[in-house]
Amino acid sequence: MTNILVGIIILAIISSSAVKILSEKKKGAKCIGCPYSKASSNNCSCSSHK
């Protein structure tokens, strides 16, 4: 029973991450974790903002 519960929790984490990635890509974000991804129409250059 414990293995099933852990499996369901892991599956929920992975599926929610996939939904987040797909929804952000649909909105047009190039780099999902980058706060500057929607700042300009150019490609996200997160490394230059550090």
The pLDDT score that the predictor gives to residue 46 is: 61
The pLDDT score that the predictor gives to residue 30 is: 73
Kindly state the percentage of the chain with pLDDT values over 90. Answer: 40
35: domain range?
2-49
At 23-39, the pLDDT tens digits run 988 887 777 777 766 66
Question: Is the pLDDT score of 17 beyond 70?
Answer: yes
Q: Is residue 20 a contact partner of residue 7, using CB atoms and an 8 Å limit?
A: no
What's the rounded Cα separation, in Å, for the pair 24 and 18?
A: 10
Under 8 Å CB-to-CB from 24, ≥6 apart: which residues? Answer: 32
When divided into structural domains, the chain yields a total of 1
DSSP conformational letter for 42: S
